[in-house]
């Protein structure tokens, strides 16, 4: 494996914090890596910047609010430190880099303070930015820590899948992004549980680059709430999917059972993605019913998902069935009376005549 090369120059992508002058900025180096640069005090220069070139995983973690800027500069795996003078940035927004000296790397005064996160930026991300929205889910009854974890896992998987479906519908998506999505769909072996976990983790990783799902507030009470932040359009799709269980639960269960029995009979549930059905007519039947299954769950453009599967009916069917299981588990919270997706929960005291509004105030919008 070739040794990693030092970066010699970088191009300004955008300013992230501006107070009279740029204080934090994002660059891309000549090695194609992200680099964050912070203004520092220097006796020899009024516009010197200390930089950290980071790997994609660390950058996504920062962009998603999972680590602060201090962590990126001091602890992120694969980081490399550089310096430059802002006044040296050329008309085409490029600047030559100097590898930071050991004395500079050891100087704690050059590093950003702890506790500065992506949300503290004064400027919005300009690449692939989708405005965020907050969605509040009202909770009731008894919730253990494991319940919160299970809820967030399920809604995270459902959110990531629907975000990818939305991106597939976007004809303006770049070829590199489309390649990543297709890779996430087709790379797993689809032989068992680990494949599904990896698949949804890859989808979550992609959605983090645009508008990730975040928990913005939890109030544990009866009534309490869980507030999450993400794409408003995806939240509407989640509501539509859960509504499908209200209106078509019986049909969804029958479609799932029929497809599940067929895969078992064909020995395909734990078979690799390259396996095929025993005859072409059965394959057509599975394709037709899988598409109907997806449409019944209100997946907005299941045809794009099949295209992303490179028309592999087995992969498509396994994905749609896995999505059903997650949406079903999410809906179970509502069926149990512990979660309200788009309406206030009922009063704590059972009454056939009392309305939720009469018993208690509705949740804040």
pLDDT the model gives residue 232: 86
Q: Write down the residue that tokens 């005090």 correspond to.
A: 41
Q: How far apart are the first and last CA of the chain?
A: 54
Each domain of the chain, given as residue ranges in start order, spans: 9-120, 132-340
Bridge partner list, 27: 12, 35
pLDDT the model gives residue 3: 65
The mean pLDDT value of the chain amounts to: 84
Closest CA to 167 of 130, 136, 135: 130
pLDDT band at 324 (very low <50, low <70, confident <90, very high): very high
The whole-angstrom separation of Cα 344 and Cα 314 is: 40
Say how far residue 286 (Cα) sits from the centre of its chain. Answer: 30
The residues, any chain, with a CB within 8 Å of residue 195's CB and separated by 6 or more, are: 188, 189
pLDDT the model gives residue 182: 81
Contact present, 137 and 226 (Cβ < 8 Å): yes
Has residue 120 got a pLDDT over 90? yes
pLDDT band at 361 (very low <50, low <70, confident <90, very high): very low
The residues, any chain, with a CB within 8 Å of residue 120's CB and separated by 6 or more, are: 17
Contact present, 112 and 69 (Cβ < 8 Å): yes
H/E segment holding residue 74: helix 69-74
The residues, any chain, with a CB within 8 Å of residue 268's CB and separated by 6 or more, are: 275, 277, 314
Q: Write down the residue that tokens 């008894």 correspond to.
A: 142
pLDDT the model gives residue 208: 57
The whole-angstrom separation of Cα 10 and Cα 95 is: 6
Q: What is the sign, positive or negative, of the torsion defined by CA atoms of 273, 276, 277, 283? A: positive
The percent of residues in the chain predicted with pLDDT above 70, rounded, is: 84
pTM: 0.65
The whole-angstrom separation of Cα 326 and Cα 332 is: 10
pLDDT the model gives residue 213: 73
The percent of residues in the chain predicted with pLDDT above 90, rounded, is: 54
Has residue 112 got a pLDDT over 90? yes
Tell me phi and psi for residue 172, to 5 degrees: -90, 0
Average pLDDT (60-66) is 84
Sheet architecture: strand order including 21-29:
94-96, 9-19, 21-29, 34-39, 48-54, 80-85, 98-99
pLDDT the model gives residue 61: 84
Has residue 260 got a pLDDT over 70? yes
Contact present, 329 and 154 (Cβ < 8 Å): yes
At 44-60, the pLDDT tens digits run 888 999 999 998 888 88
SS3 340: strand
pLDDT the model gives residue 365: 34
The whole-angstrom separation of Cα 48 and Cα 113 is: 17
The counts of H helices and E strands in the chain are 11, 11
User: Which CA distances in Å does 164 have to 8, 149, 153, 193, 206?
Assistant: 35, 22, 17, 21, 8
pLDDT the model gives residue 195: 65
Structure-model confidence comparison of residues 206 and 244, the more confident one? 244
Structure-model confidence comparison of residues 175 and 231, the more confident one? 231
The whole-angstrom separation of Cα 25 and Cα 51 is: 9
Structure-model confidence comparison of residues 262 and 189, the more confident one? 262
The whole-angstrom separation of Cα 275 and Cα 269 is: 10
Return the beta strands (E) in 220-361 as ranges. Answer: 224-231, 339-340
Has residue 68 got a pLDDT over 90? yes
Average pLDDT (233-257) is 93
Total Cβ atoms within 10 A of residue 333: 22
Between 26-35, 219-228, 241-250, 284-293, the lowest mean confidence (pLDDT) is in 219-228
pLDDT the model gives residue 231: 84
The whole-angstrom separation of Cα 181 and Cα 165 is: 10
């Amino acid at each position: 494996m070739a040794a990693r090369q030092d970066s010699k120059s970088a191009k300004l992508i955008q300013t992230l914090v501006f107070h009279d002058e740029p204080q934090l900025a994002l660059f891309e180096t000549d090695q194609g890596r992200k680099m964050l640069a912070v203004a520092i005090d220097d006796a020899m220069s009024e516009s010197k910047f200390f930089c950290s070139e980071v790997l994609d995983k660390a950058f996504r973690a920062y962009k998603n609010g999972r680590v602060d800027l201090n962590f990126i500069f001091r602890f992120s795996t694969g980081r490399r430190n550089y310096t430059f003078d802002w006044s040296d940035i050329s008309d085409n927004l490029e600047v030559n880099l100097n590898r930071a000296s050991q004395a500079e790397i050891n100087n704690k005064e050059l590093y950003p303070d702890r506790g500065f996160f992506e949300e503290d930026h004064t400027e919005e991300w300009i690449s692939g930015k989708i405005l965020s929205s907050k969605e509040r889910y009202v909770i009731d009854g008894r919730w253990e820590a494991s319940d919160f974890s299970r809820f967030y896992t399920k809604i995270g998987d459902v959110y990531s899948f629907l975000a990818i479906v939305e991106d597939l519908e976007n004809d303006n998506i770049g070829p590199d992004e489309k390649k990543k999505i297709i890779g996430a769909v087709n790379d797993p072996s689809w032989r068992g549980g680990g494949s599904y976990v990896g698949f949804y983790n890859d989808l979550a990783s992609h959605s983090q680059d645009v508008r990730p799902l975040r928990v913005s507030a939890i109030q544990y009470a009866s009534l309490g709430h869980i507030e999450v932040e993400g794409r408003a359009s995806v939240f509407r799709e989640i509501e539509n999917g859960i509504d499908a269980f209200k209106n078509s639960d019986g049909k969804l269960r029958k479609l799932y059972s029929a497809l599940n029995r067929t895969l078992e009979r064909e020995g395909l549930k734990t078979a690799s993605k390259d396996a095929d059905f025993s005859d072409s007519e059965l394959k057509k039947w599975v394709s037709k019913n899988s598409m109907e299954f997806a449409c019944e769950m209100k997946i907005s453009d299941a045809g794009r998902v099949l295209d992303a599967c490179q028309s592999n009916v087995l992969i498509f069917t396994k994905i749609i069935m896995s999505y059903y299981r997650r949406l079903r588990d999410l809906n179970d919270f509502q069926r149990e009376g512990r979660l309200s997706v788009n309406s206030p929960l009922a009063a704590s005291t059972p009454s056939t005549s009392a309305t939720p509004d009469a018993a208690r105030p509705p949740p804040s919008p």
